[in-house]
Amino acid sequence: MAARGFLQIAPGRQVALNGVEWTIKDVHGQLGRLVLVDGDGRTETRSFRWLVNHADLRLLPRAETSGRPSPVSRQPKTLADLTEDQRERARLRAAHVLEAETGFREGHPARALPGEPRPAYDPDCTTLTQRRHAKVAETKAMHRPEAVRLGLQHLGYRTLEAGAGSDSGGSHCHKRG
């Protein structure tokens, strides 16, 4: 492989694969996937692993256009770029997802909040599948303006499942002391 060292995977980055020039059109970091587009407009979705392990990957020089910095050289986005309200909404959305995945809004029993785990999310009594279905039902029953504000109005089982592991198996409820 001609490319060695650190590879920044970002929209606008150009690479050559088997002599064909491609531009990274989109990056789905949470899924470990990216979308490539060639000069004819053909697109392919590939994994990061596939790209970095490609036998004939060559990084092409970055071209500056219209005086704007390339996407690769921009300052990284951070939580500080969000408003206080946006951070709070993101925190609440994450808490809902973490509760479905782990049974705890903070993502771990050591950081359990008062009243956790709730019965529908107790990892000792429920499977991951049951917790995901419970979270879908909970968000569907949520007051519509609140669901919209949090971006949860379309939360479905497949959304919770995307990018996550498979169900952990059967339910074996062990009462906590």
Residue 141 scores a pLDDT above 60: yes
What percent of the chain is predicted at pLDDT more than 90?
37
Are 134 and 74 in contact by the 8 Å Cβ rule? The answer is: no
For residue 22, how far is the Cα from the chain centroid? 24
Give the CATH fold of the 1-63 domain. SH3 type barrels. (2.30.30)
In the chain, the amino acid numbered 86 is: Q
Grade residue 13 by pLDDT with cuts at 50, 70 and 90: confident
> pLDDT per residue over 16-51, tens digit each?
998 889 999 998 887 888 999 988 888 999 988 898
- Could you tell me the residue ranges of all domains in the chain? 1-63, 81-161
Residue of 63, 60, 87, 89 whose CA lies nearest to 152: 89
Are 54 and 40 in contact by the 8 Å Cβ rule? The answer is: no
**Could you tell me the pTM of the whole model?**
0.53
Residue 15 scores a pLDDT above 60: yes
Are 48 and 32 in contact by the 8 Å Cβ rule? The answer is: yes
> pLDDT per residue over 145-162, tens digit each?
998 988 888 888 988 887
Least reliable range by pLDDT among 2-6, 112-116, 119-123 = 2-6
Q: Give dist(CA 163, CA 141) in Å, integer.
A: 25
At 133 the pLDDT is 94
Indicate the burial class of 107 (C-beta count within 10 angstroms; 0-12, 13-18, 19 or more).
Answer: middle
> Within 3-127, where are the H helices?
48-52, 84-102
Distances (CA, A) of 137 to 5, 62, 102, 122, 157: 46, 48, 17, 16, 10
> pLDDT per residue over 75-108, tens digit each?
677 878 889 998 999 899 889 999 999 999 999 9
